[in-house]
Amino acid sequence: MRAPAVPDPAAGDVLLAVDNVSLAFGGVRALRDVSFDIHRGEIRAIIGPNGAGKTSMLNVVNGFYQPQQGRITFKGVTRAKMRPYEAARGGIARTFQNVALFKGMTALDNIMAGRTLKMRRSFFWQLLRYGPAMAEEVEHRRRVEDIIDFLQIPHIRKIPVGKLPYGLQKRVELGRALAMEPELLLLDEPMAGMNLEEKEDMSRFIIDVNNHFGTTIALIEHDMGVVMDLSNRIVVLDHGVKIADGTPLDVQGDQAVIDAYLGVAH
């Protein structure tokens, strides 16, 4: 099933490129011939009205959906299809629109779960918690503690996430994604349902992740103020079609965008 991997020498500082992707569910055409790219180190926003195909786009990028047409080039490797585990191994991590954590596990264990792909020792040794497996686990825990410190959540380390308020659950989810040490981080509405203060906190964390770890970020967000402040470039979708692509300033002034989205919403 695996598509032939062709290195693309012309990629330059493009981390990920989507070319002419179309995706349909039966008769519903979620994405129509969409192309855009994400540069290494930038914060890239995907916006659009409800049902524009934003989440579908993210799902295509991390291999959750298989597009009927088009290609995805990630780190110079072009594929027609990408499997979720290939995306994860390759350094793509994501968070979900509806928090997808293990509710009965503590914040710490949830974030540790993000390290699974980095574990080298076999399951057997990990069960015994002996020798190299133990040393490895201590090292993973150290990395996770750095993330806990970074996200300022030491006080909830040992609390089952199901008991946490929504804003903190979102932060734990971000922590789990960071634990994978991704090159590309996909955030699906990281600020949905948050109050102003929580949004400000989350914005700061996103900027810090970008600055501090140099992580490339692609995010979907509805709060226009946040999007305009955070992102370097924005791609606008409407009914599965890309209608604009550029800097926040370009997009804000684009008549098609105003008609489709900003003008209506505000």
Partner 1 sequence: MADIATARGHAFSGKPAAALEPAVSASAVERAGHPTTAPASPDTFPKLLLRNADIFADRPAIRHKDLGIWQTWTWRQVRDEVSAFARGLAELGLRRGDHYAIVGRNKPRLYWAMCAGQALGAVPVPLYSDSVADEIGFVLAHAEAKLVIAEDQEQVDKILSIRDKLSLLTHIVYDEPRGLRDYDRTALTWIDDVQRRGREAIARDPPHRQWWENEVAAGKGDDLAVILYTSGTTGRPKGVMLSHTNVLISAHNGNAFDRLGADEEVIAYLPLAWVGDHIFSYAQSYDAGFCVNCPEAAETVVEDRREIGTTYAFAPPRIYENIITITMVRMEDAGALKRHMFHFFIGVARRWGEKILDRKPVPLHARLLYWLGEILVYGPLKNRFGLSHIRVAYTAGEAIGPDIFRFFRALGINLKQLYGATEASVYITAQPDGEIHADTVGRPNIDVEVKVSEDGEVLFRSPGVFQGYYKDPEKTAETKTQDGWVRSGDAGFLDPATGHLKIIDRAKDVGRLNDGTLFAPKYIENKLKFYPNIKEVVALGDKRDFVCVMINIDMTAVGSWAERNDVVYGSYQELAGNPAVYDMIERHIDEVNRSLLEEAVMGAAQIRRFLVLHKELDADDGELTRTLKVRRSFIAERYKPLMDALYGGASEADIATEVTFEDGRKGTIAARVVIRDLKPATPAMEKAA
**The one segment of 19-27, 140-148, 175-183, 235-243 that binds partner 1 by CB under 8 A:** 140-148
How many chain residues are in contact with partner 1, going by CB under 8 A?
22
Cβ closest to partner 1, residue 211 vs residue 247: 211
Buried b (16+ CB within 10 A) or exposed e, 228-264: bebbebbbbbbebbbbbbeebeebeebeebeebbbee
Give how far the C-alpha of residue 23 lies from the chain's centroid of Cα atoms, to the nearest Å.
19
**Mask for 94-133, x = binds partner 1 (CB under 8 A):** --------------xx--x----------------x----
> Distance (Å, rounded) from C-alpha 95 to C-alpha 100?
8
CB of 27 to partner 1, least distance (A): 48
Residue 252: both structure tokens together: 């804000």
**The one segment of 46-54, 135-143, 178-186, 254-262 that binds partner 1 by CB under 8 A:** 135-143
> 220 has which bridge partners?
46, 188
> Distance (Å, rounded) from C-alpha 248 to C-alpha 254?
10
Nearest alpha-carbon partner for 5 in 64, 74, 91, 98: 74
CB of 255 to partner 1, least distance (A): 37
CB of 177 to partner 1, least distance (A): 19
> Distance (Å, rounded) from C-alpha 93 to C-alpha 177?
5
Cβ closest to partner 1, residue 112 vs residue 230: 112
**The one segment of 52-60, 153-161, 219-227, 250-258 that binds partner 1 by CB under 8 A:** 153-161
| DSSP letters spanning 77-142 | EEES---HHHHHHHTEEEE-SS----TTSBHHHHHHHTTGGG--S-HHHHHHT-THHHHHHHHHHH
CB of 148 to partner 1, least distance (A): 7
**The one segment of 50-58, 146-154, 240-248, 254-262 that binds partner 1 by CB under 8 A:** 146-154
Position 136, amino acid: E
Nearest alpha-carbon partner for 36 in 16, 13, 54: 16
Q: Does residue 193 interact with partner 1 by CB under 8 A?
A: no
Q: Does residue 142 interact with partner 1 by CB under 8 A?
A: yes
CB of 166 to partner 1, least distance (A): 17
CB of 128 to partner 1, least distance (A): 13
Residues near partner 1, by CB under 8 A? 108-109, 112, 129, 134, 137-138, 141-142, 145-146, 148-150, 152, 154-155, 157-158, 208, 211-212
